[in-house]
């Protein structure tokens, strides 16, 4: 899994809804997987107003390769990605495709106050995790078939935002 900042490459903001692209490889590798869950670390909080997921494929497909994507109702530390109702049945070729997820999160453990830029030099977050799950109703670990993780880099250096 890789995570890319979309608004300011290699810069993450505190107390701000950062938009990111998560690229998750080989997670949709079994037809029993019904959902993919992204777990945010303790210092991040998902935003429910921006979530989009699709399969990246080099093939021309006549069916949608997008997913339903939202903050999980039972545990808001997870994003839940499920197959769109118009998507065709699972294909073995999907195992080699990348799932591309656009999402928003806020870095929440930093003190409130004036916005500060955090550049990506010295500190890392706890990991973001992605799980392939057989359950669409619960993100708990007993349903996982696959998993991966990645951290986000956050500097301890503070640079005031110039307006």
> What predicted TM-score, i.e. pTM, was given to this entire model?
0.78
pLDDT band at residue 43 under the 50/70/90 scheme: confident
Neighbours of 132 (CB within 10 A): 24
Q: Is 94 helix (H, G, I), strand (E, B) or coil?
A: helix
The answer on pLDDT for 52 being more than 70 is yes
Domains and CATH numbers, the chain: 2-160 (2.60.40)
Please state, rounded to an integer, the average pLDDT across all residues of the chain.
77
The answer on pLDDT for 17 being more than 70 is yes
109-140 pLDDT, tens digit per residue, is: 555 555 555 444 445 667 888 998 999 898 88
55-70: b (≥16 Cβ within 10 Å) or e: beeeeeeeeebebbbe
């Amino acid at each position: 899994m890789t995570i890319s900042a979309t608004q300011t490459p290699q810069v993450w903001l505190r107390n701000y809804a950062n938009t990111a692209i998560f690229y998750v490889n080989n997670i949709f590798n079994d037809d029993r997987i019904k959902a993919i869950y992204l777990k945010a670390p303790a210092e991040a909080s998902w935003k429910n107003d921006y979530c989009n997921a699709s399969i990246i494929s080099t093939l021309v497909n006549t069916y949608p390769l997008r997913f339903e994507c939202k903050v999980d109702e039972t545990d808001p530390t997870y994003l839940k990605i499920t197959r769109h109702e118009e998507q065709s049945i699972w294909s073995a070729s999907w195992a080699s495709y990348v799932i591309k997820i656009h999402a928003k999160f806020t870095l929440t453990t930093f003190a409130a106050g004036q916005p500060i830029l955090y550049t990506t030099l010295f500190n890392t977050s706890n990991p973001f995790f992605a799980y392939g799950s057989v359950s669409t109703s619960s993100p708990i670990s007993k349903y996982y078939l696959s998993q991966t993780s990645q951290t986000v880099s956050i500097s301890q250096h503070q640079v005031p935002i110039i307006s």
